[in-house]
Amino acid sequence: MPALAIAALTRELRADELPALATHLLALDAEDRRLRFGSPMSDPRIVDYVRHIPLEHDAVFVVTDDELAIVAAAHLARSDEVAEIGLSVLREVRGRGLGSALFERCITRARNWRLRALFSACLAENETMVYLSRKHGLSGHAADGTAAGHLSLPAPTSSSMTEDLVREQLALFDLEHKKLWLALRRRMPDMPPVANDEPN
Ligand SMILES: CC(C)(COP(=O)(O)OP(=O)(O)OC[C@H]1O[C@@H](n2cnc3c(N)ncnc32)[C@H](O)[C@@H]1OP(=O)(O)O)[C@@H](O)C(=O)NCCC(=O)NCCS
């Protein structure tokens, strides 16, 4: 795979983009699928999982590369008073803050939904996710091979609402920028393959 230029700009997935989310999750190897979902996931189970994400109720945030492929995703699943986060970042772009950016976006959105708390659950052996949960203020405990994290959410403020809107607008601007580059590259194949050099 060529070097990727990825900015940690998180965008909310639209319903017509769910097939792209399936493509992203299907690109995870067996071990990453086990870490993401807590148990082995076959291709048909992943497709079924994506098909049943209620986007009118939950939210999915994504980071895309210069080809507009999803390289990182967070599913924020909402129940009456709480939300739960599920994260996936492709191996080749890990350690560049994409998981953290998605985590922050989910915390802000769950807060703005006026929920009481955000939860994370992962295998206890998943040191990176346990670390990320702690880093973002979730307090946790481990039992029966599972690590659970919990963050009480404050009430939304005008600044938390604005933060969510600004992040979305920046990501939409980035999307239009990438679409323009793709269109230009189709017309002028000799152009460099990336629009920016470094992640934010
Ligand atoms: C967990 C996951 C989403 C993290 O994504 P990411 O983009 O690499 O995350 P970030 O770059 O924002 O942050 C990773 C942090 O973990 C740290 N880290 C990496 N490996 C670690 C380990 N073994 N133990 C503790 N911390 C670790 C990094 O140093 C980094 O720290 P920093 O934020 O202080 O710089 C990614 O590894 C992944 O998709 N794993 C497979 C699926 C999964 O486990 N999902 C979580 C369960 S829902």
Residue nearest to atom 45 of ligand 1 (CA): 36
The predicted pLDDT at position 190 comes to: 80
Separation of 131 CA from ligand 1 center, angstroms?
A: 7
Q: Which helix (H) or strand (E) holds 105?
A: helix 98-112
Task: Say if CB 103 and CB 96 are below 8 A apart.
Answer: no
CB 85 within 8 A of CB 50: no
Counted domains in the chain? 1
> pLDDT tens digits for 106-153?
999 999 999 999 999 999 999 999 999 999 999 999 999 999 999 999
Flag whether 192 is in a domain.
Answer: no
Say which amino acid occupies 192: P
Are the C-beta atoms of residues 174 and 9 closer than 8 Å to each other? yes
Give the chain's largest Cα–Cα span: 56
Apex CA 18: angle with CA 181 and CA 167, to 5°?
Answer: 55
Q: Does 107 sit in the ligand 1 pocket, CB within 6 Å?
A: no
Assess whether the C-beta atom of 95 lies below 6 angstroms from ligand 1.
yes
In a domain, 198, yes or no: no
Does residue 3 lie in a domain region?
Answer: no
Q: If pLDDT is split at 50, 70 and 90, which confidence band does 2 have?
A: very low
In a domain, 64, yes or no: yes
Domain range for 134 is: 11-187
Torsion of CA 21, 81, 137, 63, to 10 degrees: 20
Q: Has residue 136 been placed in a domain?
A: yes
Which CATH number covers residue 93?
A: 3.40.630.30
pTM attached to this predicted model: 0.93
Ligand 1 centroid to 19 CA: how many Å? 25
Other CB atoms within 10 A of residue 138 CB: 22
